[in-house]
C-alpha cells in the first residue's frame, strides 16, 4: 500500500504535502517523490524516506499545485526510476497511484504499438501513458477518464494533473481509498483524512468507480456511470485520526500504552446503561446462523482464532481461516453460515478478494475494522468499528486487543451475558498493573534474548493463541526467527529444535492446562532451554519470571498481550531497529 497526497490552490502546498507524506509513510516507505508545476512540470523523487526527499527539493517552491507519493514497492523494484510521480511519454500527464494494475502488460503492449516507450518497470507509468494517449485525442480530461476507466483492471487511487492545466487535480478510485479535503480557496486530496485534519474537517470519501477533479474553488465528482453527482461532506473525530506521537519516542510504544483507553472506549461504545449496544438485525442474523466463519490475515487472523472460541463458548459452531487460503478454497458449512471478517486497516487485499466471493454467494457478513470509510467498512453488510484511534506502527498492538475485546462483547451479547464486561474491566486492571510494574523486568528479558537466533513461545488453548500473536510481533519487528508451539504438540516434533540456551517463553494463565504446561517446561528445560514463564497469581510458582494478577483466563489476549508487545518492542529497540517501520512490511497489504 502506498500513500498519496495532493493540494491545489494552497498557499504553501510544500508544507502540506511533506507533512502529509510523513503521516502516510506507514503505508509504504521504500521511496518517495513529489511533483509540482512551475514553468513546466517539476519532479523530485528518490529511493528512501520522506526526510531524505526533503533534502533534495528546493527550499522555496512557488506553485499552485503539488502531488506527493510514498511507495511500498509491488510492481518494479524500489529504484529511483520506479518511484512516483510518473511522467507520461509526451510529458503531458503527471500521476501518482496507490494500488495494483492487473492488466498492465496488455496495456503496455497496446501503447508500444502506438509508439510509446517506458523508462521504468511500474504498472503506474503505463497508466500515465494510457491517459496521455487518449487525452491527446480528445483534449478533454474528463472524457479521457471515461474512456480509460473501463480499460483498467485492478485496484487504484490515481491523482494527476496535466501540463496544459496546472490548476486542476484529477482523481479516480477503485478499491484503494481516496479522500478529498474541502478548503476555502484550496482543496486537498489524500489516501486518508489524517494529513488534512489540520486544514479542514470537511471530507468527501470517494466510492469505487467515482472520479472527478478539484481546483482551488470546486470539488466536482462523477459517479461510476460518469454522471455529475453531489456528495455531502462528512467530518471526522480528530482524536481518532490524529497522528500526534504525544511525546512518545515511537508509535508502537504509544499504541501499547493506549490499550487501557482502547478497552474502556469499546466498553463505553458497545455497553451502555447495563445494555449491549449492537445492531439488533446483526444479533438476530448471528443468533440464527448455524455456523460462524472467522477470516483475517496476520494479527487479525489471530484475533479471529480467539473470537471463534468465544462464539463456541455460547454453543455456536465456528471455523477460522487465513483470508488468502479461504479466498481460493471458500468453505462455508451450515445452512445459515455467517462470515466475520477482521481487519485493522479495512483495506487488506486478501479480504477484499474474500468479500467478492462472499457477495457472489450472498453470504451474510460483518467486518470488524479500525478504519471507518475503508473499502471493507463501506462494502460489507454489517460493520463494527474498533474506535481505537489511528494505529500507525506497522506492528498491530492496540487494534489486536480491541478486536479480541469486541469479539468477546459481541459473543456475550448473543446471550446477553453481561459478565463479559465485568471480566473485561478486571482485565483492564491487569493491564494497568503490567504497565505500572513490569516494564523494567520485560526490558531485562529483552536484553537477555536480543541476540538469539531462535525464540519459541509455548502455550495451550487461549495461551497458544496469545503465543501465536506474541511470536508474530517479535518476528516482524526484531527479525528474530520465532515460533509459537501448542504445549501438547511439543513432543510431536518441535522439541527437536530445543537446545542449550534457546529462550522459551511460556504463558500459563489457563487453570485447565496449567499442570500440563508445567510438564512442558520440564521437558524443554531438560534439553537446555532458558525458560521465561508468565503466569497468573493462582497458577504461579516462585521461579516464574512474571506473575500477573488473576483475571478471567479466556481474556488472555486482552490482559497479557501487552507483555508480549513490550517484549517485542524492547528487543527491537535494543537491536537499534526501526520499530515503527520494520523492513519489507507495510501497515496494510493491498496486494494479494
Ligand atoms: C500485524 O502486526 C501485521 N501488521 C500484519 O500481520 C497485519 O495484522 C495483517 O497484515 C492484517 O492487516 P489488517 O488487520 O489491516 O487486515
Q: 253 C-alpha to center of ligand 1: Å? A: 17
Q: Provide the pLDDT for residue 103.
A: 95
Q: How far is the CA of 432 from the centre of ligand 1 (A)?
A: 25
Nearest protein CA to atom 7 of ligand 1, as residue: 298
Q: Is the pTM of this model over 0.95?
A: no
- As a whole number, mean pLDDT of residues 70-95 equals 93
- What is the DSSP-derived secondary structure letter of residue 80? T
Vertex 219: Cα angle to 216 and 221 (nearest 5): 155
* Strand runs labelled E in 401-555: 454-459, 481-486, 503-508, 530-536, 546-548
**Beta carbons of 26 and 93 less than 8 angstroms apart:** no
- Which residue, judged by its Cα, is nearest atom 16 of ligand 1? 343
pLDDT at 360: 96
Q: Is the pLDDT of residue 591 over 90?
A: no
470, 443, 475: which is closest to 457 by C-alpha? 470
- Structure letter (DSSP) for residue 206: P
Ligand 1 site, residue 396, Cβ cutoff 6 A:
yes
Pocket test residue of 255, 295, 300 for ligand 1, highest count of atoms within 8 A of CB: 300
Q: What confidence tens digit (pLDDT) does each residue in 331-352 have?
A: 999 999 999 999 999 999 999 9
Q: DSSP of 251-277, one letter per residue?
A: HHHHHHHTHHHHHHHHHHHHEETTEE-
Q: How confident is the model at residue 252 (pLDDT cuts 50, 70, 90)?
A: very high
- Residue in 575, 578, 506, 577 with CA at minimum distance from that of residue 535: 506
The total of other beta-carbon atoms located within 10 Å of residue 207's CB is 17
Long-range contacts of 108-114 (CB under 8 A, 24+ apart): none
Q: Where do we find the cell 481505537?
A: 388
Checking if the pLDDT of 267 tops 90, the result is: yes
Report the atom number in ligand 1 closest to the C-alpha of 394: 4
**For cell 481461516, what's the residue?**
321
Bridge pairing between strands 271-272 and 228-229: unpaired
**Tens of pLDDT, residues 467-506:** 999 999 999 999 999 999 999 999 999 999 999 999 999 9
Lookup result for grid cell 454453543: 315
Which pLDDT score is estimated for 553?
Answer: 95
Pocket test for ligand 1, best of 251, 326, 344, 397 (most atoms within 8 A of CB): 344
- The yes-or-no verdict on residue 190 having pLDDT over 90 is yes
84 vs 94: CA distance, rounded Å: 9
Write out the catalytic residue numbers.
2, 587
The predicted model gives 440-451 an average pLDDT of 98
Which distant-in-sequence residues (6+ apart) come within 8 Å of 398 by Cβ? 255, 256, 258, 259, 262, 388, 389, 391
Q: Average of pLDDT values for 545-574?
A: 98
Q: Listing from the earlier edge strand, what are the strands of the sheet with 41-47?
A: 41-47, 31-37, 65-71, 3-8, 187-190, 179-182, 203-205
Assess whether pLDDT exceeds 90 at residue 240: no
- The C-alpha atoms of residue 570 and residue 442 are separated, in whole angstroms, by 8
Q: How far apart are CA 394 and CA 412, in angstroms?
A: 30
pLDDT of the residue at 26: 82
Q: Is ligand 1 within 6 A of the CB of residue 298? A: yes
Q: Whose CA is nearest to atom 3 of ligand 1?
A: 395
pLDDT in tens, 358-400: 999 999 999 999 998 898 998 999 999 999 999 999 999 999 9
The pLDDT assigned to 238 comes to 73
- Strand boundaries in 137-290, DSSP class E: 154-162, 169-174, 179-182, 187-190, 203-205, 211-214, 219-222, 228-229, 271-272, 275-276
Question: How much distance in Å is there from the Cα of 297 to the middle of ligand 1?
Answer: 6
- CA distance linking residue 524 with residue 505, whole number of Å: 11
User: Cα(592)–Cα(515) distance, rounded to whole angstroms?
Assistant: 42
Q: Locate the ligand 1 atom nearest the alpha carbon of residue 587 and give its number.
A: 4
pLDDT of residue 243: 84
- What pLDDT shows up at residue 272? 96
Tell me the average pLDDT across 167-193: 94
Closest CA to 70 of 25, 36, 35: 25
Average pLDDT, the chain: 95
Average pLDDT of 431-444? 97
> Would you state the pLDDT for residue 72?
85
190 closest CA partner among 37, 379, 13: 13
Ligand 1 mean position, distance from CA 299 (Å): 5
Of the pLDDT bands very low, low, confident and very high (cuts 50, 70, 90), residue 175 is confident
Amino acid at each position: 500500500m502506498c500513500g498519496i497526497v495532493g493540494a491545489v490552490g494552497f498557499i504553501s502546498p510544500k508544507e502540506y504535502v511533506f507533512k502529509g507524506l510523513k503521516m502516510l509513510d506507514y503505508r509504504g516507505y521504500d521511496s518517495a517523490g513529489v511533483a509540482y508545476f512551475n514553468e513546466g512540470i517539476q519532479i523530485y523523487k528518490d529511493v528512501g524516506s520522506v526526510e531524505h526527499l526533503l533534502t533534495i527539493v528546493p527550499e522555496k517552491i512557488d506553485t499552485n499545485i503539488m502531488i506527493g507519493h510514498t511507495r511500498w514497492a509491488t510492481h518494479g523494484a524500489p529504484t529511483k526510476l520506479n518511484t512516483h510521480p510518473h511522467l507520461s511519454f509526451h510529458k503531458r500527464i503527471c500521476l501518482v497511484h496507490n494500488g495494483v494494475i492487473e492488466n498492465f502488460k496488455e496495456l503496455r503492449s497496446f501503447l508500444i504499438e502506438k509508439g510509446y516507450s517506458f523508462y521504468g518497470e511500474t504498472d503506474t507509468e503505463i497508466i500515465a501513458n494510457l491517459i496521455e494517449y487518449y487525452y491527446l485525442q480528445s483534449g478533454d480530461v474528463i472524457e479521457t477518464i471515461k474512456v480509460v476507466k473501463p480499460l483498467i483492471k485492478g485496484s487504484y487511487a490515481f491523482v494527476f494533473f496535466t501540463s496544459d492545466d496546472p490548476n486542476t487535480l484529477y482523481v479516480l478510485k477503485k478499491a484503494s481509498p481516496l479522500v478529498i479535503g474541502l478548503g476555502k480557496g484550496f482543496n486537498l486530496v489524500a489516501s486518508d483524512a489524517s494529513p488534512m485534519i489540520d486544514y479542514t474537517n470537511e471530507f468527501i470519501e470517494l466510492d469505487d468507480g467515482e472520479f472527478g477533479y478539484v481546483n482551488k474553488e470546486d470539488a466536482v465528482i462523477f459517479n461510476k456511470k460518469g454522471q455529475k453527482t453531489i456528495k455531502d461532506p462528512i467530518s471526522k473525530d480528530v482524536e481518532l485520526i490524529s497522528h500526534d506521537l504525544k511525546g512518545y519516542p515511537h508509535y508502537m510504544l504509544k499504541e501499547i500504552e493506549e490499550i487501557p483507553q482502547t478497552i474502556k472506549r469499546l466498553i463505553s461504545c458497545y455497553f451502555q446503561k447495563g445494555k449491549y449496544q449492537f445492531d439488533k438485525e446483526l444479533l438476530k442474523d448471528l443468533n440464527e446462523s448455524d455456523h460462524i466463519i472467522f477470516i483475517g490475515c496476520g494479527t487479525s487472523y489471530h484475533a479471529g482464532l480467539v473470537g471463534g472460541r468465544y462464539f463456541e463458548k455460547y454453543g455456536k459452531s465456528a471455523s477460522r481461516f487465513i483470508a488468502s487460503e479461504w479466498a481460493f478454497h471458500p468453505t462455508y458449512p451450515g445452512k445459515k453460515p455467517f462470515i466475520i471478517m477482521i481487519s485493522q486497516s479495512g483495506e487488506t487485499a486478501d479480504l477484499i478478494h474474500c468479500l467478492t466471493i462472499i457477495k457472489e454467494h450472498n453470504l451474510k457478513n460483518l467486518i470488524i475494522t479500525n478504519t471507518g470509510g475503508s473499502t471493507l467498512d463501506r462494502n460489507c453488510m454489517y460493520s463494527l468499528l474498533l474506535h481505537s484511534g489511528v494505529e500507525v506502527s506497522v506492528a498491530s498492538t492496540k487494534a489486536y486487543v480491541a478486536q479480541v475485546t469486541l469479539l468477546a462483547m459481541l459473543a456475550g451479547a448473543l446471550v446477553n451475558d453481561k459478565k463479559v464486561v465485568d471480566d473485561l474491566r478486571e482485565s483492564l486492571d491487569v493491564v494497568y498493573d503490567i504497565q505500572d510494574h513490569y516494564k523494567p523486568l520485560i526490558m531485562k528479558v529483552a536484553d537477555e534474548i536480543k541476540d538469539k537466533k531462535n525464540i519459541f513461545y509455548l502455550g495451550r488453548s487461549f495461551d497458544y493463541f496469545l503465543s501465536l500473536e506474541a511470536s508474530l510481533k517479535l518476528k516482524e519487528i526484531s527479525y528474530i526467527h520465532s515460533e509459537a508451539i501448542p504445549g501438547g504438540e511439543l513432543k510431536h516434533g518441535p522439541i527437536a529444535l530445543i537446545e542449550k540456551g534457546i529462550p522459551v517463553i511460556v504463558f500459563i494463565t489457563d487453570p485447565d492446562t496449567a499442570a500440563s504446561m508445567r510438564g512442558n517446561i520440564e521437558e524443554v528445560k531438560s534439553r537446555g532451554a532458558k525458560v521465561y514463564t508468565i503466569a497468573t497469581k493462582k497458577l504461579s510458582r516462585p521461579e516464574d519470571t512474571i506473575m500477573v494478577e488473576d483475571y478471567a483466563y479466556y481474556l488472555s489476549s486482552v490482559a497479557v498481550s501487552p507483555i508480549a508487545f513490550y517484549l517485542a518492542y524492547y528487543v527491537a529497540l535494543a537491536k537499534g531497529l526501526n520499530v515503527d517501520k520494520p523492513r519489507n512490511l507495510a501497515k496494510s497489504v493491498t496486494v494479494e
